[in-house]
Amino acid sequence: MSKIEQLAELLQASSNTVFFGGAGVSTESGIPDFRSKTGLFAAQEAYGLSPEELLSRTAFDRNTAIFFKYYKENLVFTDVQPNAAHLALSELEGRGKLQAVITQNVDGLHQAAGAQQVIELHGSLDRVTCLACGCRSSRHDLDQRLREANPGWRARSTVINPDGDAVLDDDQAGQFRVVDCLTCGGLLKPDVIFFGENVPRPRVEECYALTGRARMLLVLGSSLTVMSGYRFVRHASKHAIPVAIVNQGATRGDDHAVLTIDAPLGPALTALTAELGAPG
The phi-psi region of residue 279 (left if phi > 0; otherwise alpha if psi is between -120 and 50; otherwise beta) is beta
Would you kindly state where each structural domain of the chain is located, as residue ranges? 1-31+81-122+197-280, 45-76+125-192
Q: Do the domains at 1-31+81-122+197-280 and 45-76+125-192 have one common CATH topology?
A: no
pLDDT of residue 71: 67
List the one residue out of 12, 25, 45, 20 whose CA is nearest residue 266.
25
Of the CA atoms within 13 Å of residue 279, those in its CB half-sphere come to 9
List the one residue out of 253, 251, 250 whose CA is nearest residue 235.
253
* Cβ atoms of residues 75 and 125 within 8 Å: yes
Type and span of the H or E element at 17: strand 17-21
Whether this prediction's pTM lies above 0.85 is answered by no
List the one residue out of 80, 6, 26 whose CA is nearest residue 221.
26
**According to DSSP H, which parts of the chain are helical?**
3-13, 51-54, 57-62, 64-70, 84-94, 109-112, 139-149, 170-175, 201-213, 227-238, 265-276
Would you call 122 a catalytic residue per the annotation?
Answer: yes
24 vs 14: CA distance, rounded Å: 24
Sheet of 136-138, strands arranged across? 136-138, 123-130, 188-192
- Per-residue pLDDT for the chain (280 aa), expressed as one digit of tens each? 899 999 999 999 998 999 999 989 998 998 876 554 444 545 455 555 566 666 778 878 877 777 776 666 666 666 789 999 999 999 999 999 999 999 999 999 999 999 999 999 999 988 999 999 999 999 888 888 888 887 875 544 433 333 333 334 444 444 667 789 999 999 998 899 988 889 999 999 999 999 999 999 999 999 999 898 999 999 999 999 999 999 999 999 999 999 999 999 999 999 999 999 866 5
Count the Cβ atoms, other than its own, within 10 Å of residue 41: 16
Q: What is the largest CA-CA distance in the chain?
A: 66
Single out the catalytic residue among 110, 122, 235, 256. Answer: 122
Q: Which residues pair with 124 in a beta bridge?
A: 191
CATH architecture of 45-76+125-192: 2-Layer Sandwich (3.30)
pLDDT of residue 77: 61
65 vs 71: CA distance, rounded Å: 10
14 vs 171: CA distance, rounded Å: 61
- 1-31+81-122+197-280 fold: Rossmann fold (3.40.50)
